Amino acid sequence: MHRGRRDKNHGEVKAAFAALGCTVADTAHAGIAGFPDLVVGCIGVNHLVEIKNASTSYGRHGLSAGQTTFNDGWRGAPCAVVFTALDAIVLVNNWRTVASLREQRK
């Protein structure tokens, strides 16, 4: 088990979200089994984000059993999984596009 460890790309991904104007709460040590690494506030919505490192076999495996259990029981929006700062940029752009489209439909 990797409790207490952060992926080596954790800081880079977290910084990417902040650079995009998001608020970021680092929850890697929240003490809740399977809880995602970050809560990212963007366009008035809180998003759960799990950071994985594709350069490790553990990271390439995807969500752990505990993370999968947490996500299966979570009644909010699904947790996003990111591997790189570029993934964070794409994800934020997607969140903003979806929000803009919803606003246009009103």
What does the pLDDT read at residue 39? 98
Return d(Cα 29, Cα 24) in angstroms, integer. Answer: 14
For helices 85-105 and 10-19, angle between their N-to-C axes, nearest 10 degrees: 30
Q: Among 3.40.1350.10, 3.40.50.300, 3.40.50.450, 3.30.420.40, what is the CATH number of 10-105?
A: 3.40.1350.10
- CA distances in angstroms from 81 to 22, 34, 103, listed in the order given: 17, 13, 26
Given a cut of 70, is residue 50 above it in pLDDT? Answer: yes
Given a cut of 80, is residue 1 above it in pLDDT? Answer: no
Q: In one letter, which amino acid is 57?
A: S
Of the chain, the percentage scoring pLDDT greater than 90 comes to 77
Task: Determine which helix (DSSP H) or strand (DSSP E) holds 17, and give its type and residue range.
Answer: helix 10-19
Which whole number is the average pLDDT over 42-67? 92
Which whole number is the average pLDDT over 39-48? 97
Which whole number is the average pLDDT over 43-47? 96
So where are the chain's domains?
10-105
